[in-house]
Structures are given as C-alpha cells and as structure tokens.
Chain A
Amino acid sequence: GAVVSQHPSWVICKSGTSVKIECRSLDFQATTMFWYRQFPKQSLMLMATSNEGSKATYEQGVEKDKFLINHASLTLSTLTVTSAHPEDSSFYICSARRTRGLAGQETQYFGPGTRLLVL
C-alpha cells in the first residue's frame, strides 16, 4: 500500500522554541495533505488542509500563525509549531490524499504520527 512518513517521530523541546514536522508521501504524489492533532484517548481533530502550491486551509479555531503549513512539493508538507508551549504537546498526524484512476478513486493514507512534548 501507499506509504506516508513523518519526521521526527518524537520531539522534546523547550517552551518558546519552534518545531518543524515533515510529512512525505513516499511512493505517490499528493496534491493534498491533511494535518491532524490527537489528544490522549480522543479522536483526530483536523487542523488544516495543505494544498501544493497554495495556502493551507485552516479549520475554525486553529491559529494559522501558530501552526505554519508549507506544501512546497507534491510529496512534502511541513507543519511548524511556532513558539511552542506546553499546551501544544500532542500527537500530530499527517495524511496524504491519493487519487487513482479515471473515476478519481481516492484514499487517504496516514503517517505514523509525531509526538511533541513541550517542556
């Protein structure tokens, strides 16, 4: 199946620093990627939709200046948590949309997640 990677898999940082998380689709091109946040024992919360070559679309309540998203190529999207604080500690998961065939069959493939701990 399709593979999506995330790097790093976990990161610990000091409060006030910025952290960049990479999401790559390894064997397909993805014009659209998604960034989710998951709190312990809770469902995934969509943060933003990342579109290659254009600005990301943020969900209501998500600060776009806090969570910077860049989708510079068809296989890479990055999420930068700026001036991270302890409340930003969470599990961040990306996914990439793969479209196949003339009918546009599509499936969303998820990365393994990045655990962020802000001290």
Chain B
Amino acid sequence: AQSVAQPEDQVNVAEGNPLTVKCTYSVSGNPYLFWYVQYPNRGLQFLLKYITGDNLVKGSYGFEAEFNKSQTSFHLKKPSALVSDSALYFCAVRDLLGSGTYKYIFGTGTRLKVLA
C-alpha cells in the first residue's frame, strides 16, 4: 500500500532562514506526490506536486520540493522563511485503486513555526 511519512511533528525556524519540511514515501510504481498547507480553521491549499519530469518542483508562495528517488523522499523547502509561512503542512501520495479511481493518502502533518 502507498504511504507517506512526515517524521517531524513540528519544525521551528527563524525568519529569513531556509526551511525544510521532510516527507518520505513508500509506493509501488511511479509516485504522484503532493504538498498542501493548512492554516487554522481552514481547508488545505495546494502548494505543489510531482508527477514526472524535473526532480525539483517549484510551487506557490516560493516553496519548492525535491523528489529524490534513491532516498524515497520529497522534502519541502523554501530559501527564506516568513512568519506568515507558519502553518500545518501535509505531504500526500496518490493511491491508484484501479478503474481510474484513486484516493490521496496524507501524512500526519508537520507544524511549521517561523519565529520573528
């Protein structure tokens, strides 16, 4: 079965410093990987996705993620963190079920706290 793991419950980083939020995956076949961000009492907002192509994927709000097949990782990164980036971040993988149906499997989430 497909799965993703987010090993860190919380990540703290100073404003202006680079940030990394980790995600590893376990899939059979080619992975479809996603990052979403959730602000308090809000739904999830799509940040970026990897399906195929360049291993470095650029997304919204200056975020990017690097797909690393050998390490089965898809870490989210940003060169310079902002206080407004503080939120809950979810990594997800698409689990293809057959007959064209699928579902998304989400990691447990990582709370990012950017300190001023």
Contact = CB atoms under 8 A, between A and B. Distances in A.
Interface of A: 1, 4, 6, 32, 34, 42-44, 46, 49, 57, 91, 93, 95, 105, 107-113, 115
Given A6-B43, A115-B41, A108 B104 contact: yes
Contacts, number: 47
Contacts of B43: 4, 6, 93, 95, 110-113
Interface centre among B44, B105, B107, B109 (most CB of A within 10 A): B44
A-B CB proximity, top 8 nearest: A110-B43, A110-B44, A112-B43, A113-B43, A43-B106, A43-B108, A44-B106, A111-B43
A107 B44 contact: no
Interface of B: 34, 36, 41-46, 49, 51, 90, 101, 103-109
A108 to B, nearest CB: 6
Contacts of B42: 112-113
Given A43-B106, A95-B44, A109-B46, 18 more contacts: A1-B46, A32-B101, A42-B109, A44-B44, A46-B103, A46-B104, A93-B44, A95-B43, A105-B51, A107-B49, A108-B46, A108-B104, A110-B43, A112-B42, A113-B41, A113-B42, A113-B43, A115-B41
B54 to A, nearest CB: 15
Contacts of B51: 105
A42 B49 contact: no
19 contacts: A4-B43, A34-B103, A34-B104, A42-B108, A43-B106, A44-B90, A46-B103, A46-B104, A49-B103, A93-B44, A95-B43, A95-B44, A105-B51, A107-B46, A107-B49, A110-B36, A110-B44, A110-B46, A112-B43
Nearest to A9: B41
A32 B94 CA distance: 14
